[in-house]
A and B are shown apart, each in its own frame.
Chain A
Amino acid sequence: EVQLVESGGGLVQPGGSLRLSCAASGFPFSGYWMYWARQVPGKGLVWVSRINTDGTTTSYADSVKGRFTISRDNAKNTLFLQMNSLGAEDTALYYCARGFYGNSLDIWGHGTMVTVSS
């Protein structure tokens, strides 16, 4: 079964850091671009970041550029999102997703919740 499972979310203080992981299974992970998106409960989806197949090309939304770093370990079929200098505005459910044709996202995990609060 094709599956993405996020982990690493939790409660963190403002200014703190968190590293999210996304374990992929059921498909050749190294052959796909991967994405992170987030959603404040009750609000809309927001694209956060994406990475190419070998990790050499990354891009970020302006709101997280310079604070978040996307990476991947193809040997371990795992996607990461290192989040630094977290603020209340980063509180959201974070999804990882698999890239498909036309910059679409065809497989999504169920998300991991990040709460930034003192």
Chain B
Amino acid sequence: QSALTQPPSASGSPGQSVTISCTGTSSDVGNYNSVSWYQQHPGKAPKLMIYEVTKRPSGVPDRFSGSKSGNTASLTVSGLQAEDEADFYCSSYAGNNIVVFGGGTKLTVL
């Protein structure tokens, strides 16, 4: 049950796009289309932004998109806005009823 690997930080200027990676293995990210992404602002509970690799829950702006290639999933935030500054976490189903999270990425809007 190893954590998925995310870069500790990412940044971009308002209006730009930024992509956050989430690297797992062939036992989790690479084997299931069950990658999710969460946004967490300081002192707040996490918020689901992407599920099943590419799907957005109702209410999540289409500036947020997800993808996957092999053992690596990615979250892209387009048209960066100040309110996008937050911590982002990926998660994946890892088989045997186990779920694993990534270590988190702090997104800074410059």
Contacts and interface: CB of A to CB of B under 8 A. Distances in A.
B99 A102 contact: no
Interface of B: 1, 3, 32-36, 38, 40, 45-48, 51-53, 55, 57, 89, 91-93, 96-104
Contact of A35 (B40, B52, B89, B99): B99
A23 to B, nearest CB: 15
Contacts of B32: 103
Given A37-B101, A44-B102, A46-B101, A105 B36 contact: yes
Interface of A: 35, 37, 43-47, 50, 57-59, 61-63, 95, 97, 100-106, 108-111
Contact of A59 (B35, B36, B98): B98
Contacts of A108: 45-47
